[in-house]
Amino acid sequence: MPRHYFENRGNVPAAVPPGDYILKLIAFEARLSQAGNDTYELKFEVQPSGVHVYDHWTFTAKAGWWIDVCMKALGIAPTVDEIEMEIDDAYMQGLVGVRGWATLAIDEYQGKKRNKLVAWITDKPIPAREATPTPASEGLPGEEMVEESIPF
């Protein structure tokens, strides 16, 4: 009798073919690397496929170049040549929704194919940031709720 191993997969492919794609930052998580260094794991959506890929910002002198190139590709690099920045959860939350170009490859592990981010592309136009919908209950940014405008 045939058997099926249910993995609760969505209607999204596991990987896209190797190539250049627009990535949109959709989430992040602060972590510690195996060596104990501060790290942010960044979760990106490959557009328009919906496939997810991950990047890591590890805060060491050796890995700083990768963060610089990522910032340039996403259009969030500082406008000065050198600056020490405070990167915390509030800063990262402000980046959710930024988009940029990256080159993806296929990585196969234990028979499963996934995409791997191999390079950020800084010489293509930076895609516009997609607007994040505001829930109706919150009103518009900068708009104050006036007691008389509440319908009950």
pLDDT tens, position by position, 18-30: 999 999 999 999 9
Q: Which of 93-97, 118-122, 147-151 has the lowest mean pLDDT?
A: 147-151
pTM: 0.77
Contact 31/37 with Cβ under 8 angstroms?
A: no
User: Which whole number is the average pLDDT over 106-119?
Assistant: 92
pLDDT of 7 reads 61
pLDDT of 136 reads 46
34-78 confidence digits (pLDDT tens)? 999 999 999 999 999 999 999 999 999 999 999 999 999 999 998
Name the residue with higher pLDDT: 148 or 107.
107
User: Which whole number is the average pLDDT over 6-12?
Assistant: 60
